């Protein structure tokens, strides 16, 4: 199976996927970012499908179709979102049904959305964590593939807690991807 990874930022999840020995056929980014550099340094083909509109008028459907076209051109079988910051429209889930993965910094179904770590701290939970799940058109609502708990420590702020969650993600997400690719 051919894997594509979608990135928007530093590429640390991509680094972890590659370090685990998983072959990546394509990396797609929605903005210029270090993730593209990580891919290029590893000899992985890259494609920048740049999102230039962040207004309420953003053409999500048109942008999603551009992503689908890039993925289809590389004949990928599985797509892993790795810190990808653009919410995609339904056409990508139609094109790759049940074959798009995501990681989320909370124990879903709790704390869905973009501010999961902040929301967990605000609620005063003692345990949060990360979830690897199948991505669907409904954000953070797809079937759960793997989860791991991370304790909330006294004195944690959003940055310290998020970094401990990322440490787990960088281990759990690549292992889950590798397991799926071996089936």
- Any idea what the Cα angle at residue 55 is, between residues 49 and 60, rounded to 5°? 50
What single string gives the DSSP state of each residue in the chain? --EEEEE-S--HHHHHHHHTT---SEEEESSS-HHHHHHHHTT--EEE------STT--HHHHHHHHHHHHHHTT-SEEEEES--SPP-HHHHHHSTT-EEEEESS-TTSS-STTHHHHHHHHT-SEEEEEEEE--SSTT-SPEEEEEEEEPPTT--HHHHHHHHHHHHHHHHHHHHHHHHT-
Q: Give the dihedral sign, CA 27/147/168/112.
A: positive
Which token pair is 116? 């999961």
- Known catalytic residue at 104: yes
- Pick the catalytic residue from 104, 115, 133, 162: 104
Q: Known catalytic residues?
A: 104
């Amino acid at each position: 199976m051919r894997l594509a990874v979608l990135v928007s930022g530093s590429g640390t999840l991509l680094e972890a996927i590659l370090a685990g020995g998983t072959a990546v056929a394509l990396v797609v980014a929605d903005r210029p970012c270090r993730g593209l550099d990580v891919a290029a340094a590893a000899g992985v083909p890259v494609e920048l499908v740049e999102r230039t509109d962040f207004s309420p008028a953003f053409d999500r459907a048109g942008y999603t179709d551009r992503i689908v076209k890039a993925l289809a051109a590389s004949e990928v079988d599985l797509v892993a979102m790795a810190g990808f910051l653009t919410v995609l429209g339904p056409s990508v889930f139609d094109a790759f049904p049940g074959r798009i993965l995501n990681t989320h910094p909370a124990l879903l179904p709790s704390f869905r959305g973009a501010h999961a770590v902040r929301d967990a701290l605000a609620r005063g939970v003692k345990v949060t964590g990360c979830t690897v799940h199948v991505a669907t058109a409904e954000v953070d609502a797809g079937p759960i593939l793997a989860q791991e708990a991370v304790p909330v420590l006294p004195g944690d702020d959003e940055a310290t807690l998020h970094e401990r969650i990322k440490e787990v993600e960088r281990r759990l997400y690549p292992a889950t991807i590798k397991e799926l690719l071996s089936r």
